[in-house]
Structure 1
């Protein structure tokens, strides 16, 4: 059963501006531990890839927060929600702490799609309620 839908469009130029003004502070605020390691490695190899990674993660968390109906209010926090890639590259949401407990108590499962092209990163998230097991 459909629980919620969220979408977001992020201007990568804005993310670039924030990083230029504040350095890694924005990434430290937005990214969880696993994401931060990927962002650091990508940024060291190619600054643009790092910016795109940061923008897609920001967008994904925004769309997820909309799909669950909380926005950026507890238990939803930037770092409690991580977007990691499965071995085949598919983005997958990993939740931590009170957000994970909240999500699991409602028997929810999330599906996420990410894209970046030109100056924009976008995301689309569908959250379903499962009666029984995860899909």
Structure 2
């Protein structure tokens, strides 16, 4: 059963000042979601913009907005096939389990191009 759906778009150029500030990155991103230092500025901005959009989309799918948890408790990792997946920790996980129980699956799709990054999230309750 589908519990919730969320979508978000972010302007990539907005993240340039974030990329240049380690404080902003550590505030909003989990230590497990960092782009290579060798990546160019545009690539770094796309990386962080798409992940920020995923965090926003997750909060919309959960139905809470970004309230009750920190954004760095929701992060993108990759599975064995390099497919992105959302992981949740702390209060975000507690809220998710309160709403969906312990059997759920979070689907995520990320996309970006030069100017915009987009994320789409579906939270599915597994019966």
- Fold in common (TM above 0.5): yes
Consecutive aligned runs of 4 or more in structure 1 exceeding 6 Å deviation:
none
Matches within 5 A, 1:33-112: 33-35=31-33, 38-39=34-35, 42-74=36-68, 76-105=69-98, 106-107=100-101, 108-112=104-108
Instruction: Look up the match of 1:11.
Output: 11
Q: Distance in 1 between matches of 2:59 and 2:53?
A: 10
**What's the secondary structure of 2:51's corresponding residue?**
helix
TM-score by length of 2: 0.87
Backbone CA RMSD of aligned residues: 1.6
The normalised TM-score by structure 1 is 0.82
Aligned residue pair count = 124
SS at match of 1:103: helix
Q: Distance in 2 between matches of 1:49 and 1:114?
A: 14
> What stretches of structure 2 of length at least 5 have no aligned partner?
none
Shift of 1:14: 1.2
In the alignment, structure 1 segments of 5+ residues that lack a partner are: none
**Shift in CA distance, 17/70, structure 1 to aligned 2, threshold 3 Å:** same
Moved more, 101-110 or 82-91: 101-110
Comparing 5-14 and 83-92, the one that deviates more: 83-92
2:124 alignment counterpart: 128
Per-residue deviation, residues 106-133 of structure 1 (Å, max 9, x unmatched) = 23321000000121100101111222xx
Which of the pair is proportionally richer in helix? Answer: 1
